[in-house]
Amino acid sequence: MKIAILGYGVVGSGVAEVLKTNATQITKKTGKKIEVKHVLDLRDFPGDPHEALMTKDFAVIENDPEVKIVVESIGGETAAYDYTKRAILSGKSVCTPNKALIAKHGAELFALAKKKGVNMLFEASVGGGIPLIRPYIDALCTDQIQAVAGILNGTSNYILTQMSENGTSYATALKDAQNLGYAEQDPTADVGGYDACRKLCILLSLAVDKQVNYENVRTEGIENISTEDFAFGKALGFTLKQIVSGKVYESGVGALAAPFFVPLAHPLAAVNDVYNAAWVTGKTTGNVMFYGSGAGKLPTASAVVSNIVDAAHMQPLVHGWAPEEAKILPADKYVTRKIIRVTCENPAEIKKAATLPQYPNQAAWITTAESEEQTAKSLAEIKKTSGIKTIERVLRIYG
């Protein structure tokens, strides 16, 4: 069974490595020897063991009838979209970890693959190395998914954990995440919440069989999180995580990607470093948590290789994700408790507020559960209160 790899970056080179490392087990399971025939990349890799297989011309792969499976690990939505479409049209199955591609063009690519009788598989697109997409579709398809939440970006979870546990600065933690191969080339989507939001929308689209458009989901990142946020959160019994939260209602889908305080006793509070978790609530199944490495070369590559094995067996992924757009409910109606932190003249005078000796002019307290629009009104009142100088931060509480 001959395959081609598009993009020889972190994941693409990881796929070649996993295929080599696990060759015996894979052949035993599939009865086939999976062989990389071409590797497409615009860069040169002198001395690399796959140097002789390198090509810069996609047509070489497209026109090679021996190649039955294409791994798209270029990333982004331009070349990745073009090549994926052309690969399917030339009768090849495609396996991709590319969440941007699936979140935007998934419905179209699935329909095309069905028409051509090939597989379009995307296990590694959500949760990196966690076996998530297939069990999510297979095991929960008989249930109604009511909510999907979790930590779905390894980079931001790694950064927040390092800041919280080791007092590492945001800039240093981000640089480390890049060196470890967790972050995207341009990490804006990681720290800005967009990567996690796209992954949430993939899970929600599968839950409602419609396109949940990530462009319409309120998305906030971790760029401005400070040591004060961790300190006051801890004093009130919370840790801070980049959370995605989606709910399925009769009237539409509620979705949000943002930093949230998580109660220390909640299972998501224990998901640290590059680990991810998807917390799925089914109507009859109840809560299920999928947990594992959310990013990184070999875990992500292993999930892609599991798809190669599926494609080699022609094991389809049966789901009903259609192009029709799902209605996304206005984020202003999203109800949560929140923690408000202020700078003020006399922190000790604020009822039920946490105060900390190292921040003598600040106080933080927990609100009751209220919608975003109610909070906006309360904040306008708080600003007018005598003794309050600045509202430093307002962050939602999960759960």
Interface contacts to ligand HSE, rule CB under 6 A: 128, 153-155, 182-184, 190, 195, 294-295
Q: By the 8 A CB rule, do 394 and 339 touch?
A: yes
Q: How far is the CB of 158 from ligand HSE (least distance, A)?
A: 7
Measured from the CB atom, is 8 or 182 closer to ligand HSE? 182
The helix-helix angle for 194-208 and 99-116 (nearest 10°) equals 30
Nearest to 121 by CA among 293, 310, 296: 310
| CA torsion angle 312 57 80 105 (round to 10) | -80
- Listed in order, strand segments (DSSP E) in 126-209 are 145-151
Measured from the CB atom, is 276 or 375 closer to ligand HSE? 276
Nearest-angstrom CA–CA distance, 103 and 52: 34
Measured from the CB atom, is 187 or 246 closer to ligand HSE? 187
Q: How far is the CB of 159 from ligand HSE (least distance, A)?
A: 10
| CA torsion angle 387 393 394 396 (round to 10) | -140
**DSSP summary character for residue 192:** T
Measured from the CB atom, is 72 or 372 closer to ligand HSE? 72
Q: How far is the CB of 164 from ligand HSE (least distance, A)?
A: 17
Which residues, in sequence order, are bridge partners of residue 390?
Answer: 343
Q: How far is residue 390 from each of residues 259, 342, 347, 365, 377, measured CA to CA in Å?
A: 20, 6, 12, 14, 16
Look at residue 353 and give its three-state secondary structure: coil
Pairing of strands 275-282, 286-293: antiparallel
**33 assigned to active site:** no
Check 68, 199, 297, 338 and give the catalytic one. Answer: 199
Q: How far is the CB of 278 from ligand HSE (least distance, A)?
A: 12
**DSSP summary character for residue 91:** T
Q: By the 8 A CB rule, do 14 and 71 touch?
A: no
Q: How far is the CB of 157 from ligand HSE (least distance, A)?
A: 8
Measured from the CB atom, is 164 or 276 closer to ligand HSE? 276
The helix-helix angle for 99-116 and 79-89 (nearest 10°) equals 10
Measured from the CB atom, is 260 or 275 closer to ligand HSE? 275
Q: How far is the CB of 183 from ligand HSE (least distance, A)?
A: 5
* Residues catalogued as catalytic: 199
